[in-house]
A and B are shown apart, each in its own frame.
Chain A
């Protein structure tokens, strides 16, 4: 059988000593940059790309890929421990993960994230090996109209499930969408809300918003109350998930994996939706929706699995078609090129050892990540014992340096301060930062694809209904909206995106 032969070839490549070694270096670096707020995998891969010039091509790609999915593991650590998500996906993990940490269950949350990520990574690797080319063809069916419908569906699912004060959640989503419009309009070049500051032409950086709204606002909230501050430090209960926890996370991990693997394939922003959608799904079908936002372990297990599965399957368009789904993938294309491999559909046939070696290395990388991360949990949890007068300035210092290093743009650092204050005020008003962040991430995608679809169709709006995939997604959106206005469902809305005390 072809598949087994290919996998054998892949494993024999990936298990070469230098490949395992560099895979480890990659996932270790990835974990580190994931943990450090601000510095993300994109910057790291970009910095390390020139170093890999002297490597074998497959070794270089194995290491760079390791940084990418390793960062997905590391990103959840700070989200859980100090409510500081480094990427949009980790913002969801922060909701219940940090709540668990406040209840002294940081260990269980971290272990759940690691285990979920491992299972998701394993399954997604199999998906990659078995079905990459056909999946990539399906993904190509998604044009601007389909992405618009998909993003709209994502936003509506979140609105529909938002808590009792749906109005506040809606307001936050809209505020996020508005913040997302800052910068140069890509269609006309018109600067929007830039106040003649050239530094704002590129828009507001996601990391600044996330670090400010979550991290800094959380610090401010902690500072006002001695009670909440000592809460985390004192009671660190069971480091590992209990038997009850283990029972509760199985199904969310599997559902999250499936959802993430499917959405990750879509190059136009599918991976962004994975963790948000998984959270909404878990909350909707949970028997205990009231626990969400208050430390529900499902709210960590599902999104973390979805996120990692999506990170893995987002390699599909890159490997099978040579098309990047993510800035890191664009860098990987650069890595292909400098190693003399022309990215494109021919890579599978021309370079089978590279293609299958990289896929096999992802599974090995996932094993290494679990081995690396599980023993670290004890250390991370102990970090919570660092006195706050030391920890808080450190968090802000690292966040500022990390954010500044992204684009050497001082405005990104000012933005942290601004969003920290805004986040604090919003928390005081009973508004949650997560819907805002969702709007901020999805808003630009929504606008971009809406306008692009209409440009291509010459202003004919029926294109959204005449294209089947788009029509189905829009129908689902309408159904989700209708469901949300039914009174019986309304009660359930009380929960997603809330973390009030």
Chain B
């Protein structure tokens, strides 16, 4: 067993190096299989499938992708190579997939940022609904409203009252423009009817560090990052931003329970392929996604991340498309109201 994993480690290293060299050699001219978009896909998949993650390796989105890649590959009977194409809030990687050959061999994993990018960026180079086919939703990660431990307000209601009275003093941290924490913070301000001084950081880690250190007052962040700090009493938690409480923090009320129902947000993830990908390939990918999400190992690993796979009926192109449409509307309004532009 141990030798197996060692062998796998070695094999993967070699595969990665090989893929890297190949990719460099072809200078992005990959996917040169015999089939072209819209053609016969009876044999799909007969070559490696690339999963593009538009964020850095090891981040939450990357972790989720690698979790589902293995069972999906097994179901599809093809190797899945995860590739991180970072930059500009995920828009670089998404743009690359939008321009890729629509043959089912280039797949994009993206999160809530897919629905916020059109409002945040000009000259995006793609449109979420027009440039992609939706494959299916993957998971929805809840967020929490947390503050430095010596921050005065005791409940979410108190917090709203306090920040309204002290809007010129309170600081609201986030992990950068367009980050989930930023969006959640915007929604908080809309729901509470207040405009606060935001303090952007480069990523969640530094922001949470300064929150624990008492340098900033409060922020929103994914349960994954905050639950350890909450249970250790290093930060004060007010609410979780989903309709239901989370298992890892059973005592924490939802925003609706705590009296701020307008603050509902989760970091939802979904798979996409370029527009024009044959329906047959989309269906096969969606089926493989459902299989992966039902895999007990995936369920367990996601539970450790404080989340869960979406129900099977959400892992479909239709459900995903509906969610995307709804979210595009929500965020277009919130972001326009806040007057935010990333470029």
Contacts and interface: CB of A to CB of B under 8 A. Distances in A.
A184 B343 contact: yes
B228 A456 contact: no
Interface in B203-245: 203, 205-206, 208-210, 212-216, 224-225, 227-229, 231-232, 234
Given A143-B210, A189-B340, A189-B342, A410 B87 contact: no
Interface in B60-75: 60, 62-63, 66-67, 70
Nearest to A38: B20
A230 interface: no
Contact of A190 (B23, B67, B343): B343
| Most-contacted residue by chain B among A327, A344, A458 (CB, 10 A) | A344
A338 B92 contact: no
B200 interface: yes
Interface string A427-457: 0000000000000000000001000100110
A202 B342 CA distance: 13
B296 interface: no
Contact of B8 (A51, A190, A339): A51
Interface stretch (B170-178, B258-266, B273-281, B316-324): B170-178
Given A142-B213, A408-B85, A49 B66 contact: yes
B66 A50 contact: yes
A144 B214 CA distance: 11
A334 B209 contact: no
A337 interface: yes
A456 B171 contact: yes
A345 B60 CA distance: 21
Nearest to B208: A323
Interface string A321-345: 1111001011101100111101111
Interface string A21-44: 000010001000000000000110
Contacts of B212: 140, 321, 323
A375 B135 CA distance: 53
A288 B34 CA distance: 67
A229 B56 CA distance: 40
A25 B200 CA distance: 38
A317 interface: yes
Contacts of A186: 176-177, 200-202
B125 A410 contact: no
A18 interface: yes
Given A140-B214, A189-B177, 17 more contacts: A45-B58, A46-B84, A47-B12, A143-B215, A186-B176, A187-B200, A189-B343, A198-B92, A321-B212, A323-B209, A337-B63, A337-B224, A338-B305, A346-B231, A401-B21, A455-B171, A458-B168
12 contacts: A46-B84, A47-B16, A51-B12, A53-B301, A187-B200, A202-B87, A337-B305, A344-B231, A346-B228, A409-B85, A409-B86, A452-B199
Closest 7 CB pairs of A and B: A344-B228, A46-B57, A189-B342, A201-B88, A331-B58, A140-B213, A342-B228
